[in-house]
Amino acid sequence: HSAVKYYNPIFESTVKLAFYHISFKKIDGKLMDIIIKALEEELGEQIYQSPLKLFENIEPDSADIAAFAFAAEQTSLSLFELYLTLNELSKYKIYVNESHRSNLKINQYYMYFGVALKKWLSIARNKLLHRIEYFLDKDQVETSLSATTNNKFTSSSLDISNCFTQMTQFWRRLAWPDILGAIVYLIKMTEDTANATRLYAILMEEKLNAKKFYDTNDLSFYTQELSLTVNNIERIRESFKALPIELSYDKLLVAAEKFHPIAVVDEYRKQIETTVAICSQDITDRIYRILSKVITNMEMELKQYLFHIVEAPEASTVQDTIQPLFTFLDNQLLPYTEYLIRQNVTRCSG
């Protein structure tokens, strides 16, 4: 920029002074004093707390999620813009004399934004929960030119997957400098999205149940509805599973191993991966429970076909004995193969 490219060479050649070095140091001290004071007035003494300490005090969820998000959003947006500005400014310390860089106050700028980041994550969580309910209320079948995906999902699953993507973009833009602190916040994001994933699956199943799905013995009316439900849930499960990877959790943990005890880092790894695994299994179990209704409805007739196979005369050919069962299964499951995605077809037939 101009100070480095033009002013600094002029000052050094004429008055033998490092203009940029002196200016940056003066700005650094005064600017950070002003910012710390402003943050303290806005956020209180919590700006001095570590990430672990911050999450010891669990904030109650707002009764009105939308109102909470709206009330906090403007202040949080301003704080985020300030954080990004300081993040960018801190990069210019590279032009300060190397022996003085470590003493710059701006090196620690992020430490005062921990409570702000906690609020940003709370807003993201609450808005995500609100959007799940909103998108489900406005849900409609997706249309696609691709025959392989046409009518296999509804819009809500795409909308929620996009919300996960937005959270990833926020995290990358944040670029939190403190590795161990970043892991703590990443764990919080993982836990929040796990709960959101569960909520989506629960509400999707409730929508199906509201149409008396579990009370009927004739599923022909529910073929597409059932398929859309489990497909949507599976899409969100996959999006959730990919989230920690998109957030580069493994790179963070590897980087943390260089500065912190392996046991501490391994505990964080276990916490993240366990959260993902448990949530993923919960969702898979829910999908199986929904699909089991299909098998349950077929049980009586299946038993009859199996009985005929067992009691078939020895003179009967294998084709004559088994073909009726295959025909029955094809007739029962074929409608689902038109709507179910591959993973759920496998679950249904398995």
- Of 37, 113, 109, 105, nearest in space to 75 by CA: 113
Output phi, psi for 25, to 5 deg: -65, -40
pLDDT at position 99 is 84
pLDDT at position 65 is 47
Judge whether residue 51 has pLDDT over 60: yes
How many CB atoms within 10 Å of residue 343? 16
Q: What is the mean pLDDT of residues 283-291?
A: 92
pLDDT at position 175 is 92
- Report which of residues 145 and 216 the model is more confident about: 216
pLDDT at position 256 is 92
Judge whether residue 145 has pLDDT over 50: no
Using DSSP's 3-state secondary structure scheme, residue 84 falls into helix
DSSP state of 102: T
Q: What is the mean pLDDT of residues 196-202?
A: 96
Domain ranges of the chain: 1-49+64-114
**Average of per-residue pLDDT values in the chain:** 81
Query: Is residue 187 within 8 Å of residue 176, measured between CB atoms?
Result: no
pLDDT at position 290 is 86
pLDDT at position 278 is 97
7-36 confidence digits (pLDDT tens): 566 666 666 666 667 788 888 989 999 999
